[in-house]
Amino acid sequence: MSSIWGEKVKISVFGGSHTEAIGVTIDGLPSGEKINMEEVLKDMARRAPGQDKTATPRLEKDFPNVICGLKDGFTTGAPLTAIIVNTNKKSHDYGEIPELVRPGHADLTALYKYGRFSDFRGGGHFSGRLTATLVFAGAVCKQILKRKGIVIGAHALSIGKAKDEGFDSVNISKELLERLNGEYFSVISSEAKEKMYGEIEKYRLEADSIGGVIECAVINVPKGIGEPMFGSVESVFSSILFSIPAVKGVEFGRGFGVSEIAGSENNDPYRINENGETVTETNNAGGILGGITNGMPIVFRIAVKPTPSIGKEQKTVNTNKNENAYFTVHGRHDPCIVPRAIPVAEAAAAIALMNLIK
């Protein structure tokens, strides 16, 4: 594992912030699946920068060129590769690197791992820009899953102190998820969004940044997918979710909340519903017991750290002279990456699910 993920459906991600192009190969897709490129572009637009004041106005074209794997709009069963040309390859914004390593970024760890040959321009292969390829792959997977009835949607649950309402985890409608799925910076409650904009603006004005939490749900998940132990749904999902840059926490269902409640509250009671199906009255398990789905919605949350690039002066070290130094990031950066990371969470969930479904 490094830049390739998956077993049944593998994605291979390549490129860096300032290489000629970035791209992704999806290997193992079934043949005969119609892929609507308009839908894919909509998801990619949700991740694209420069949409509002929360995001950098830097121009970044995210147009994916599918060079193989589709014929007449249908998957052929052969690897599907999309290339996104980097049109903005100048790197002068990051000229001080890696002599002065940026705090909170991977500059120093890349130096440890790859030495001076690493591509430090704009974060290289560590750049958040690579998540465009995840969104592309996820958008392809989502269409295939949707044909099976499975719908995925995410929203900003919190940004700093501003909170959205959470999912009602036993009862999540397709309509809600599709709405979230179709919006930039999706939230459940529109008031939450205003508060979140306020929170982001506060940090932006201070030349600072702020983190947040994204909540994602998947409905109509087939029962009985996942494996005991190492192939648990949680293991598979977390493995790709923690691959999204800036994610420092992942939880399912009640998540860390389970630590403060009694078993009698946490155990989801089983009931037969009006259709004769077994459901649970609560969904603290997030749809997963023993690593395997029970048919209830899968609900998870990821913690997204504040953008490490901030306008404030920071303490760093000069790696050539091995001495203390100070560093200020020039250029403009997103004061909060949560809004743009929402479709990335959905994409990761879709890719993970494609690997779990038979």
Least CB distance from residue 152 to a copy of itself, whole Å?
19
Hey, which residues does 156 pair with through a beta bridge?
Answer: 214
State which of residues 175, 194, 261, 328 lies at the interface with a copy of itself (CB under 8 A): 261
Candidate ranges 41-49, 53-61, 139-147, 291-299; the one touching a copy of itself (CB under 8 A): 291-299
Does 130 help bind a copy of itself (rule: CB under 8 A)? yes
Question: Rounded CA gap, 101 and 104, in Å?
Answer: 9
Neighbours of 200 (CB within 10 A): 26
The kind and range of the H/E element at 83 are strand 80-85
Are residues 347 and 138 in contact, defined by beta-carbon separation less than 8 angstroms? yes
Least CB distance from residue 263 to a copy of itself, whole Å?
4
Neighbours of 182 (CB within 10 A): 13
Residue list 23-62, contact with a copy of itself (CB under 8 A): 23, 25, 27-28, 31-32
Neighbours of 223 (CB within 10 A): 12
Does 91 help bind a copy of itself (rule: CB under 8 A)? no
37 or 108: whose CB is closer to a copy of itself? 108
Residue labelled with tokens 């040309």:
85
State which of residues 53, 57, 61, 78 lies at the interface with a copy of itself (CB under 8 A): 78
State which of residues 210, 218, 350, 353 lies at the interface with a copy of itself (CB under 8 A): 210
> b vs e for 302-332, b when ≥16 Cβ sit within 10 Å of the residue's Cβ?
bbbbbbbbbbeebebbbbeeeeeeebebeeb
CA distances from 200 to 57, 62, 103, 208, 212 (A): 15, 24, 21, 9, 10
Tokens encoding 284: 């603290």
Does 64 help bind a copy of itself (rule: CB under 8 A)? no
Tell me whether residue 42 is exposed, middle or buried, using C-beta atoms within 10 angstroms of its C-beta: 0 to 12, 13 to 18, 19 or more.
middle
Least CB distance from residue 175 to a copy of itself, whole Å?
27
Residue list 163-202, contact with a copy of itself (CB under 8 A): none
State which of residues 42, 51, 76, 166 lies at the interface with a copy of itself (CB under 8 A): 76
101 or 178: whose CB is closer to a copy of itself? 101
Tokens encoding 300: 């998870």
Least CB distance from residue 251 to a copy of itself, whole Å?
3
By rule CB under 8 A, what string of x and - marks binding of each residue 312-331 to a copy of itself? Answer: x-xxxx-x--xxx-------
Q: How many residues bind a copy of itself (CB under 8 A)?
A: 147
Does 15 help bind a copy of itself (rule: CB under 8 A)? yes
8-state DSSP, 34: B
Question: Rounded CA gap, 91 and 124, in Å?
Answer: 11
Does 228 help bind a copy of itself (rule: CB under 8 A)? yes
State which of residues 44, 46, 54, 105 lies at the interface with a copy of itself (CB under 8 A): 105
45 or 78: whose CB is closer to a copy of itself? 78
Least CB distance from residue 173 to a copy of itself, whole Å?
24
